[in-house]
Amino acid sequence: MKFYALDFDRTLGRTVDIAKDFISYVEQEDATVGDSLREQQHNIEATGGSFDMIGSLRAQMGQRALGVYAEGFLDRHRGGPYLEDGADSLLIGIAASGHAAGILTYGGEDWQTIKLRATELDSYRRMILAEKGKKGALIASWYDAEHGVYRLPEALGGGSFDEIVLVDDKPTEFVGFPDLPSAHGYLYTGGVKPTIETSPQPVVKDLPASVKVVDSLRDIVRREAL
């Protein structure tokens, strides 16, 4: 049985569209706060960083930001067109094939959770990491060499799996990925990226041989025979 570890931002979810609609919602409620968010997002993403929308709001307003803006946004936008093309097919195919999936992502806990709720993927088990570039090594740490299986953490549902598949949009997340026949991955390049991309980008040629580059999630469905 396989376990599919799926990234969220720009892999399953159209993060740019969620952020755009979230800022627009905040601007309707308070133009000053919305303008501040937009400026901070621009400045951070201009250097290649990931902007934590809720972390920024909390710094300005305290914990009430979650109630004032987050819940209002979700009331209006939950279930919106925020999934990458083919994400539904991938998730349905995994389930129909008797395999399991969970979301392995990076970012601020509250902002990631809001994005998962907006895409209605919050029912999936998830692990939200605080650092970038750690997924490959983390997955390697799950491998039980004595029994030849991967033992998942409880956050992702626990249990033992014969194979692991990682799907992500960042080459750096495959650093330290297990060099084993039972582990392979896909670097997804078709996701909607931020319009500003000035920082040096990881080199695709350094990917492990077990990682294939795809520009469509439907290609993963085909390759995995889901």
Q: Hey, what amino acid is at 80? A: G
Q: Say whether pLDDT at 202 is over 90.
A: no
Fold of 2-14+82-223: Rossmann fold (3.40.50)
Say how many CA atoms lie within 13 Å of 16 toward its Cβ.
12
Query: In this predicted structure, what is the pLDDT of residue 205?
Result: 67
The pTM assigned to this predicted structure is 0.93
Residue with tokens 């495959």: 174
Cβ-based neighbours of 193, under 8 Å, separated by 6 or more: 10, 16
Query: In this predicted structure, what is the pLDDT of residue 203?
Result: 55
Please state, for a pLDDT cut of 70, what percent of the chain lies above it. Answer: 94
Query: In this predicted structure, what is the pLDDT of residue 200?
Result: 47
In contact, 54 and 110? CB cutoff 8 Å: yes
CA distance 183 to 164: 5
More confident residue, 67 or 36: 36
User: What b-and-e string marks burial along 156-183, b requiring 16 or more CB atoms within 10 Å of the CB?
Assistant: beeeebebbbbbbbbbbbbbbbbeeebb
Mean pLDDT of 200-223: 85
CA distance 200 to 41: 18
H or E segment and range at residue 115: helix 109-118
204: confidence class by pLDDT, cuts 50, 70, 90: low
Number of C-beta neighbours around residue 108 at 10 A:
18
Domain positions in the chain: 2-14+82-223, 15-77
Q: Say whether pLDDT at 199 is over 50.
A: no
Q: What is the pLDDT of residues 137-193, one digit of tens each?
A: 999 999 999 999 999 999 999 999 999 999 999 999 999 999 999 999 999 999 877
Q: What is the pLDDT of residues 65-113, one digit of tens each?
A: 778 889 999 999 999 999 999 999 999 999 999 999 999 999 999 999 9
Structural tokens at position 148? 């030849």
Query: In this predicted structure, what is the pLDDT of residue 122?
Result: 97
Mean pLDDT of 111-128: 97
Query: In this predicted structure, what is the pLDDT of residue 44?
Result: 83
Query: In this predicted structure, what is the pLDDT of residue 194?
Result: 64
Q: Say whether pLDDT at 201 is over 80.
A: no
